[in-house]
Each structure stands twice: as structure tokens, then as C-alpha cells.
């Protein structure tokens, strides 16, 4: 398994600003992912964070809006840029440890409110 922490746990931001969310895993993992959960909705994959290369984005998500970094095998960041109230969501980081397991473990999430 993997233990994942995220910072900040929640934030309230003003329209037009940007927020960077950090995700730390307690062990090296092969794959890390970022999800968005809009209020009362299910989870939607934003992108796969690739170590050493550009993230792979899902349809409807673009790098300019959600730049992602993954400098090593235990850490990733997601930035929500030029925020609007529609970006108010829970953002969750997940990791797949690898080694033949296909289970994704999730962090506690970051609750973002944009005013």
C-alpha cells in the first residue's frame, strides 16, 4: 500500500489567483494521478503525472490551466491556475505503487473554494 499526504487540506481563494497543491507519498511509486471531484459528483481524472516527462492530460483538461510537476518518484504538484468559482472542488492525488499491484491509493484531498 501507500500512504499519501496532501497540502493544503483546504483553501479559500480569490478569483483569478492560482493555487499549488502538493502530494507526497511515503514510498516510491510508479504512477501518480490527479483527480477532481466537483461538489456532489464523482471523481474525474485530470491527468497522469509522469516522472521526468510532461503529464498526460485527459480530455477537457489542459496544461495551461492545470500544470503538473513530478520531480521524483514520491512527489507531485498540481497547480490550479487563474481560478474561477467553477474550480471549487476537492482535488485528490492518488498513487499506484507498482510491483504488479493495480490498486490506486488516494490522499485525503484538498478542498478548494474559489470566491
Contacts with other proteins, residue ranges (CB under 8 A): 1, 31, 33, 41-45, 48, 90, 92, 94, 96, 102-109, 111
75 vs 105, beta carbon nearer other proteins: 105
Contact 80, 88 (CB under 8 A): no
Cis bond before residue 32 (omega within 30° of 0): no
Calpha distance 4→21 (Å, rounded): 13
Residue 81 C-beta: closest distance to other proteins, Å: 23
H-run or E-run covering 61:
none
Which of residues 3 and 82 has its CB atom nearest to other proteins in the complex?
Answer: 3
In the bound complex, what is the minimum distance in angstroms from residue 50's beta carbon to other proteins?
A: 11
Amino acid at each position: 500500500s501507500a500512504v499519501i499526504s496532501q497540502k493544503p487540506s483546504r483553501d479559500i481563494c480569490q478569483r483569478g489567483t492560482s493555487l499549488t497543491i502538493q502530494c507526497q507519498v511515503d514510498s516510491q511509486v510508479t504512477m501518480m494521478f490527479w483527480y477532481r471531484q466537483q461538489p456532489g459528483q464523482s471523481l474525474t481524472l485530470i491527468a497522469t503525472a509522469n516522472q521526468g516527462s510532461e503529464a498526460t492530460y485527459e480530455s477537457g483538461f489542459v496544461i495551461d490551466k492545470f500544470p503538473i510537476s513530478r520531480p521524483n518518484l514520491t512527489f507531485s504538484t498540481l497547480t490550479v491556475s487563474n481560478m474561477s468559482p467553477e474550480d471549487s472542488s476537492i482535488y485528490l492525488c492518488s498513487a499506484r505503487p507498482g510491483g504488479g499491484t493495480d490498486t490506486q491509493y488516494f490522499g485525503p484531498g484538498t478542498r478548494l473554494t474559489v470566491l
